[in-house]
Amino acid sequence: MRRITLLLVVSLSACDTGAFVTADDWVPTNPSLRDSAQTFQQVSRAVGAAARAECRRQTKGQNCNFGILIELDPFAEPNAFQTLDENGRPFIIFTQSMIKSTQNADEMAFVMGHEAAHHILGHIARQVKNAEEGARIFGELAEARGEDAAGIEKAQELGAEVGIQSYTKDFELEADQMGTQITYSAGYNPLVGMAYFNRIPDPGDRFLASHPPHAKRIEVVLNTAGQLGLTQ
């Protein structure tokens, strides 16, 4: 549950307090990030346009007006994620250390395309639904066992977590597939971009890992790229 709450709570109001800045307005205080900032701005425009087009093609009535933001805290962990503001507008947020950890424009585009795909595929709403469903089932089982209110609440929390975990790997692979297409439409090479996997720890086949093993993700990217006529 913790992760969902975080995703849904991050909103434009945080922007007003100066925690985030749009990609176009970003002037890094760290001089070593100036070149990356320029590349990031170009990638944001191209991937933003490709993501909007894909979103309009794939969805009906969904907000496709992607905003791309930078987390201003220079010490925030390497991370990129997708969120929604209170009006349902999608935002893709990169931390500065995340941008620093990418090696080229293709990797930035690949990560951005993946995050955009999470929105187009409606993953936040689907995760909330899975969490609610898990909480309901576990809560009812606890009630049937005759647990007290605290026991039922605990079971609901666990159920929500299980509900989220059961689909998260599928969601990642779906986002890798559509993200590969968006990266390509934006004019970048997903086969170069996917080298980013080499720089993040491989969760392997652990049951409770939130992400699929790299081998599985690479296979999805290779298949999708092959359909687009791209070869290594």
Residues that bind Zn ion (CB under 5 A): 172, 175
Nearer to Zn ion, 117 or 225 (CB): 117
How far, in Å, are 12, 39, 82 from residue 72 at the CA level? 14, 17, 16
Find the shortest distance in angstroms from Cβ 160 to Zn ion.
19
Nearer to Zn ion, 152 or 182 (CB): 182
How many angstroms separate the CA atoms of 11 and 14, rounded? 6
How many angstroms separate the CA atoms of 223 and 60, rounded? 27
Nearer to Zn ion, 116 or 175 (CB): 175
Q: Is 221 helix (H, G, I), strand (E, B) or coil?
A: helix
- Of the candidates 68, 192, 190, which has an alpha carbon nearest to the alpha carbon of residue 119? 68
Nearer to Zn ion, 175 or 225 (CB): 175
Find the shortest distance in angstroms from Cβ 199 to Zn ion.
15
- Of the candidates 67, 68, 64, which has an alpha carbon nearest to the alpha carbon of residue 122? 64
H-type helices in the chain, by residue range? 2-9, 12-16, 34-58, 96-101, 105-120, 123-144, 149-185, 190-193, 214-227
Find the shortest distance in angstroms from Cβ 117 to Zn ion.
8
Q: What are 30's two structure tokens?
A: 């760290």
How many angstroms separate the CA atoms of 161 and 181, rounded? 30
- Of the candidates 225, 8, 230, 198, which has an alpha carbon nearest to the alpha carbon of residue 107? 198
Q: Is 47 within 8 Å of 115 (Cβ atoms)?
A: no
Find the shortest distance in angstroms from Cβ 113 to Zn ion.
11
Nearer to Zn ion, 54 or 172 (CB): 172
Find the shortest distance in angstroms from Cβ 172 to Zn ion.
5
Nearer to Zn ion, 68 or 175 (CB): 175
Find the shortest distance in angstroms from Cβ 115 to Zn ion.
7
